[in-house]
Amino acid sequence: MGIPTKVENIEIDATYFRGYNLIWNDWFRSEPLKDPAHIYVDDTNRTGSNGSNYITDAELGGELLPVAKFHDYFTSALPDTQFGPGVTIPIGGTAPVYTAENEIDIKQLLEDGKLSVLKWQRRNGGGTSTTAASSGYRAIMTDSPTPSSTGHYTTYINNNATISSSNADFIIPSNLWADLGETNSINIAALRRAFSIQQWQEALARGGNRYHEIIRSIFNTISPDARQQMPEYLGGFRMPINVTSVLQTSSTDATTPQGNEAGYSITTTQPGGKHLFTYSATEHCRVYILGCQSTAIQHFDRTITKRYYNLEIPDIKPIGKNEYNCTYFESEWLRKIWNHGNITIGLLEWDAAAYIGRYMTKKQKGQNAAIYEWQCIESPWSVVSNGVGRKYYELHKENIYRNDTVIVRGRTHAKTCKPPRIFDKWFEGRTAANNGSHQRKASGRRQ
């Protein structure tokens, strides 16, 4: 920002730091893990700070705010199923309490000198006494068979028993039961309200609870940033940082040993450069250009997984949805036989089956190919899997090259695509065996 250092009593416009905090709150903060940074909105003069408390010091010129990691399968995992405390079902009223004894002989109790039909036990489950009483009180619990023993030993109150500090303790009745049938029942409206609040909190956890996130994830509408009176994202790009290692080749000294590794970086954009954005403002504004560095090991490839088709699952049940409105399921049976990670269950459709090919191809040939080149990501899919495509080819080989198309049917619609290239090899082998009896229509076919 060009603020001079070691200059005392200098006054700085506070709106620069407030705007920085506002951008961080809306664009760089992980809601489940970080509380929002505080932002003053008054005109009071305040003393600056160099502190590291991001909530209170950042708006006073403190240390830079931490940036959340880019999302992958691990960093995007939610810490809880809902945003906020769990919803409870309101059950009001009181319940009568009875003993577990069905029949009580009052005469026999009086003859035996017992004062109560309640059974008692230690509140702390035995062991060292938590309090002591003076001698002379009637004992309602003793540590039998000996005062030094531990455990749940109960007895009826005895008229002539005495208590001592060796066996006294806090006690609770152990044979009382509450009759919940006498309590006030919950009405259907309150139950529905509790379910609705829980579903709302689960949606906030999946899509975020900031205003623009609620509009997009719940109402499926993208509202302009400026209309919501929030920092407007104008543009940006990502680029890898190229670091060249430098080895200490001179003799070992007091600072670094021989062979010590360091590095330097000269990083530029791609040939021709990149433009951050082109923007025509309709009102006075302040533009921030922010950069952040992310360092991480090679991420887990989402295509490394096991897949089973038409698997019968006896106890499958839904547990929630993700931000794309896809349902998550769980199964105790699957958890017992597969304990190596999460299990995703869903319909096999065109979009899901074709995702892997598009995902890897775009990394190699798309606009961001250079970003993945330094990560040594190479596509392992150059042809269609033999196991997946062979049966379809055998069933429809008469029509595939007559029309030069294959039809992929989804749950709601079908798509017409060009035959995969592995079909060419199978077709060439078949036509060679049949002396060219099948001629393929080649118009529009990629070479």
Percent of the chain exceeding pLDDT 70 equals 58
Q: What's the average model confidence in pLDDT over 148-156? A: 41
Cα–Cα distance for residue pair 238/34, rounded to 1 Å: 24
Residues 6+ positions from 378 with CB-CB distance below 8 Å: 364
Mean pLDDT of the chain: 70
Across 81-90, 175-184, 414-423, the highest mean pLDDT is recorded for 81-90
Q: Which CA distances in Å does 97 have to 42, 115, 175, 290, 367?
A: 58, 19, 10, 65, 72
Q: What's the average model confidence in pLDDT over 193-216? A: 89
Q: What's the average model confidence in pLDDT over 303-327? A: 69
- Tell me which DSSP letter residue 340 carries: S
Q: What's the average model confidence in pLDDT over 17-27? A: 91
Higher pLDDT, 177 or 195: 195
Question: What is the per-residue DSSP string for 171-211?
Answer: EEESSEEE-GGGSPPPPHHHHHHHHHHHHHHHHHHHH-SSH
pLDDT value at residue 162:
42
pLDDT at 127 over 50: no
pTM of the model: 0.49
Higher pLDDT, 361 or 86: 86
Higher pLDDT, 85 or 296: 85
Is the alpha carbon torsion for 422, 424, 425, 427 positive or negative? positive
Is the alpha carbon torsion for 248, 253, 257, 258 positive or negative? positive
Percent of the chain exceeding pLDDT 90 equals 4
Q: What's the average model confidence in pLDDT over 286-290? A: 88
Q: What's the average model confidence in pLDDT over 371-396? A: 57
Q: Tell me which H or E stretch contains 408.
A: strand 406-409
Q: What's the average model confidence in pLDDT over 380-394? A: 60
Q: What's the average model confidence in pLDDT over 135-153? A: 40
Contact 245, 262 (CB under 8 A): yes
pLDDT value at residue 24:
92
Cα–Cα distance for residue pair 215/229, rounded to 1 Å: 14
pLDDT at 182 over 80: no
Contact 46, 14 (CB under 8 A): yes
Question: What is the per-residue DSSP string for 411-443?
Answer: SS-EEEEPPPHHHHHHHHHHHHHTTT-S----T
Higher pLDDT, 287 or 141: 287
Residue with the two structure tokens 């096991």: 306
Question: What is the per-residue DSSP string for 65-132?
Answer: PPPPPPP-TTTT--SSSSSSSPP-----S---EEES-S---HHHHHHHTB--S--EEETT-SSS-S--
pLDDT at 144 over 50: no
pLDDT value at residue 126:
44
Q: What's the average model confidence in pLDDT over 27-45? A: 88
Higher pLDDT, 363 or 226: 226
pLDDT value at residue 116:
52
Higher pLDDT, 379 or 68: 68
Query: Which tokens hold the place of 338?
Result: 């597969």
